[in-house]
Structure 1
Amino acid sequence: MFLKRDPVGWPSPADDYSEDFISLNQHLIKNPAATYLMRIDSNSMIGIGINIKSILIVDRSLKPKNNNIVIALVDGSYVCRQLKLFPKLELISRGVVNKPITIDKEEELEIIGVVIAAINQY
């Protein structure tokens, strides 16, 4: 993939060169051994641009922080949600229907990884 900077409008036909090579791996993946791709199959995060069939880039090596988007294991199911650490531990949906998942005990929640990017196809 190549990076080409164009102003809005029609590009010049004489401008037939590329500036830089873009490596998505180099820009998005900092720890390849701990990073994986996951396709989302729900609309629970559609409000922040994670759509059905988005491909998520998930890093297992990152420590989850407040407001991070995470992949979590809750009651045997994987979910993609926004992590809230205070005032109470919750997984927040950014969809239209889902209610927050309140975690009463930390043992009930396993954070699988932190979402570092979402790729959407149109």
Structure 2
Amino acid sequence: MADDPLTGSADGSGPALPLVRLSLGGRCPRCGSPTLFAGMTRFAARCSHCGLDFSSFNVGDGPAAFLTLILGTVIVAAAITLELTVHPPLWVHAVVWLPVTLAAVIGSLRIAKAALIAVEYRQAAHEGRIAPRGP
């Protein structure tokens, strides 16, 4: 049986890849191959190495909303600090903060989405269903 990168080998005795390593590398939660993403932040349909179907996972918009608030706060604070200490022209702010914001959003979104998929896989999470009640 194949090793599971989150829990170790199939019998539980082997080493496990840490969640951080899986999410930073955009790795498949089952086999550990770097096949999770087909684009910058778009998931591949399935792992080309082990065949795990990534479309069955649902990370939703949680990472995007959470990261928008955090990164927005950090970047606005840094821009205000730069303005109050150096007083650069407006074009300098555009040249500095637009690429920094874009890189930070894309990089952190990839990491957050990969981490959520790995946790969903580890916990065998699936969409909630209400069981029918008996008579």
Give the TM-score normalised by the residue count of structure 1.
Answer: 0.27
Structure with greater proportional helix content: 2
Give the TM-score normalised by the residue count of structure 2.
Answer: 0.25
Structure with greater proportional strand content: 1
